[in-house]
Amino acid sequence: MEDHRQYLSNNADDDERRAAQQVMEGLAGLRLEAKMKEVAAERQVLERRAIWRRILVALIALALVVGAIYFVLGKKETPAAPTQTPQPQEQPATPPVNTPTSPVDKPLDKPQPMAQLTPGERLPDPRYPAPEAVLTRGGSGGTQQVSKALLDQIWYTDYPLNGLSVGGQFAKVDALLKKRNFEDAFDALEQIADSDTTRYLKGYSLLGWGEGTEALVYFNALQGRHNTWEPQLQWYRGLALLLDDKSEKALALFQQIAQQPRHPYQRQARKAVGLLQ
């Protein structure tokens, strides 16, 4: 390159210098044109990227607007769930256990209007009579016969006990209680380790046997310990109070149960209140 320039400077004539100058200018033009094409191509790439970015931003914005519209319209069109007043249902003689409540032993100030069965309302008679042992308690024979007759009308005792599992080691006890052999069932329970299940079955056995005082000891110890047992346990506790000559406490407990529409023994309690008052 230096030789070429030196030749043009020292040895070339004017025509050669002009021709060389034209060649150089042509080469420079070609290089400039190539550079311009390169710059134009890069610019097109940048412009295309900018266009795609704008399209992407527009799509995101559109999606946000559509989502906001759907959310607002969805809230307006969704109707509020209507409030329904639960209809009271008549409880069967042996209904499932419901929400437990704590018993109260003091009498109510005054009986409530709903504490007795309404005219014409009748419960099926209990499946089994009250224990005959009631007849041998203190007092005159006539008085005891009245008490036995009253107990026979409200002696709603159901087995198996609600919410209580009696398999395994309690299988023998379960078979005896199904036969209403309360004395042998209690003796069999004495051979089983102490537990809440054992206590409940002992209390039930004593109740069926006619031993109200002893049954109360077990029932009182179980109050509030098991939700599924509590409503039925309350009712059995009221029967045990009657066996133990504690009519006022039994009446107070039955009145409390009678005020609870969801209690499974509400109707039985209303019948007991009507007979005891």
d(CA 43, CA 80): 58
Q: What is the pLDDT of residue 82?
A: 43
Q: How many Cβ atoms sit within 10 Å of the Cβ of residue 262?
A: 14
Tens-digit pLDDT profile for residues 59-110? 888 888 888 887 878 655 544 444 444 444 444 344 333 434 444 444 434 4
Over residues 39-46, mean pLDDT: 80
Q: What is the pLDDT of residue 5?
A: 63
Residue 244: pLDDT band (50, 70, 90) is very high
Residue given tokens 């290089």 in the structure block:
31
Sign of the torsion angle spanned by Cα atoms 181, 195, 155, 206: positive
Identify which has the larger pLDDT, 219 or 24: 219
Tens-digit pLDDT profile for residues 159-207? 989 888 888 999 999 999 999 999 999 999 999 999 999 999 999 999 9
* DSSP codes of every residue in 16-34: HHHHHHHHHHHHHHHHHHH
On whether the pTM is more than 0.85, the answer is no
Q: What is the pLDDT of residue 241?
A: 95
Tens-digit pLDDT profile for residues 171-181? 999 999 999 99
d(CA 42, CA 119): 100
